[in-house]
Structure 1
Amino acid sequence: MPAPTHTPAAPAAPPTPQRPGRIKAELPWWALALPTAAFVVLLSLVLDPADAHAVSGRVPLLDVLVQLRQALPF
C-alpha cells in the first residue's frame, strides 16, 4: 500500500539577498546566555576559597582507577 504524500501548506519564502561568501546565522538569546551562565556558576564553584579543605592523604586519581578496575569485567 503506497504511503500518501504530503504537500506543503504554503510555498517556501523566497531567499533573502545576502552578500556573497557570507553565512547568515541567527541564534536565540538563550543560546549564548545559558552557556555563559553555566560557565560563571562553575567558575564560582571552583574559585570559592571558603570550600577548600586539606587533602586527607588519599590520591583522587587512585580512587578513580580503583572504581574503573571494579567496573571493568576482567
Structure 2
Amino acid sequence: MSAVFSRSPAAKAHRLRKRLPWWALALPVVSFIALLALVASPSEASAASAPQGLAALLEFLAGLVRIGA
C-alpha cells in the first residue's frame, strides 16, 4: 500500500515565486571576473618567480585530471 503524495497547485506556485537576492548572483560574477583578471594579467602579481599565465593554470588542471583518472 503506497500513498499518493501530491502538492496543491498553490504550493507549487508559491515555491516558484521565490527570487534570489541581487547579491546572490553578483558575488559569484564579481569573484569570477577578479580571478579571470588575475590569470589574464600575471605580471601584476607579487610572486614573479612563479609560472605565469593561462598555460601554467591549464598544465596544473591537466595534472589534476591525470591524477584523478
Q: TM-score, normalised by structure 2?
A: 0.39
Larger radius of gyration: 1
Whichever structure has more helix as a proportion of its residues is 2
Q: TM-score, normalised by structure 1?
A: 0.37
